[in-house]
Structure 1
């Protein structure tokens, strides 16, 4: 009986922990519409689909030398997936703009994966590797945007971002050149390249040792808050 008592106690603890975890997790449920190719509006709340990136609404792709509205088409395809369906979104956090991030599903589909598998979004490798395989399958089938020439959504946003006009960039530019030694133990290097892109490099990344640091950061959150994006590792 002591053995049984220990098993019962452990089982009860597992149930309590599972119930507590379920209570803490935020789940949005209801009908949904697409705000763009990687965002839904569930009820009155906008949810950015975690781990994926779709063409922006103003973005075009090229097929046979002709431009077409791939961003608008991506939104339409996502709308088709949720039309008339109950959508459940497990909220996993918020992004740097305060938007909810989530994994959303209908009865039969995980929408994050489905829209990548259909070729209307890419795996957002900077934040997750979860949908890389789905992207590779879409590439092989030349599905959606993979049957065209296009700019990655993150690169499109960067190219079309408003130019910095406040004095902060000029102040940074006027600072003395920093060496490649970490500052106060902070080892993340912020660098502005010739194209005007603000990129940060982590120790161990390609080109880290060759990168001239214009600023050092202790965390990636600090680097992003200063306007830098993570270096893309191929």
Structure 2
């Protein structure tokens, strides 16, 4: 009995540390993943589009909804102070936490504004807010969007072949433009082979195929 009590006492500081509040300035990694005071946090109860995910507007045009959601969240919260209550740890080692900024439940706000979905697999906390956002066609719900968990299950967007990272994209005007990693629009540029878009292994290969370099 004494040994069991001793083990329990030794475990108490670990349990307390796991539940300690995290606070500090926000750095937005993507819409549902932040660094808070240097700790990587996955926001509890929500799921936002992946950075390489595209959606369709109500007019049927493709748009980079993952980049859009992240930009919106970054403008609203980057550099502000968040207070987060850890709830769990996910398989990537991130702290799953409920976070507040200026007393506002961030998960609730993002779902209300249509910047994220209620992640029903793990929580029912924001289901009512999602229903309102869908009824009002707020944010992502203004067009056609695939739930992020379904997008990931389907394998996400087209992936680059090994060592061939240059994106050959066809603009709305039909111009063939290649984007090199590090350029301004590289991350948000999507490749759709069905439209004739492709990956290149070098800039020289792209130019020889008739594609021009992106200007920035």
TM over 0.5: yes
Equivalent position of 1:11 in the other structure:
none
In structure 2, the residue matched to 1:78 is 73
Which of 142, 148, 152 is equivalent to 1:147?
A: 142
Q: Determine the C-alpha separation between the residues in 2 that align with 1:93 and 1:23.
A: 12
> Secondary structure of the equivalent of 1:31?
strand
Q: d(CA) in 2 for partners of 1:71 and 1:79?
A: 12
Other-structure match for 1:207: none
Asked if the contact 2:45–2:122 (Cα under 8 Å) also holds between the matched residues in 1, the reply is yes
What CA deviation, in whole Å up to 9, does each residue of 1:19-62 have, x standing for no partner?
A: xx977622111110211111111132210001110000000110
CA shift for structure 1 position 70: 0.7
In structure 2, C-alpha distance between the alignment counterparts of 1:147 and 1:92, rounded to whole Å? 32
**Aligned twin of 2:164:** none
> Larger relative contact order (C-alpha < 8 A, sep ≥ 6)?
2
Alignment correspondent of 1:120: 115
1:60-71 aligned at under 5 Å gives the runs 60-63=54-57, 64-71=59-66
Q: CA deviation at 1:84?
A: 4.3
Structure 1's consecutive aligned runs of 4 or more residues displaced over 6 angstroms after TM superposition are none
- The residue aligned with 2:127 is 132
- Choose which of 34, 47, 50 in structure 2 pairs with 1:53: 47
The offset of 1:86, in angstroms, is 1.2
Alpha-carbon separation, structure 2, partners of 1:42 and 1:139: 29
Distance 1:38 1:126 in 2: 15
Show CA shifts across 1:115-147 (max 9, x none). 111001000001100010110111111100000
Kindly report the root-mean-square deviation, in angstroms, between the aligned alpha carbons of the 2 structures: 2.0
Alignment gaps of 5+ in structure 2: 1-14, 158-216
Partner of 2:168: none
Displacement of 1:96 in angstroms is: 2.1
| Number of residue pairs the alignment of both structures matches | 143
TM-score (norm 1): 0.57
Q: Is the 8 A contact 2:26 2:34 kept in 1?
A: yes
2:29 aligned counterpart, secondary structure: strand
Q: Return the offset for 1:83.
A: 3.3
Partner of 1:25: 19
Q: Taking structure 1 as reference, are residues 23 and 46 closer, same or farther at Cα in structure 2, changes over 3 Å only?
A: closer
Name the CA distance, whole Å, in 1 between partners of 2:56 and 2:70: 18
- The whole-number CA distance in structure 1 between the counterparts of 2:28 and 2:135 is 26
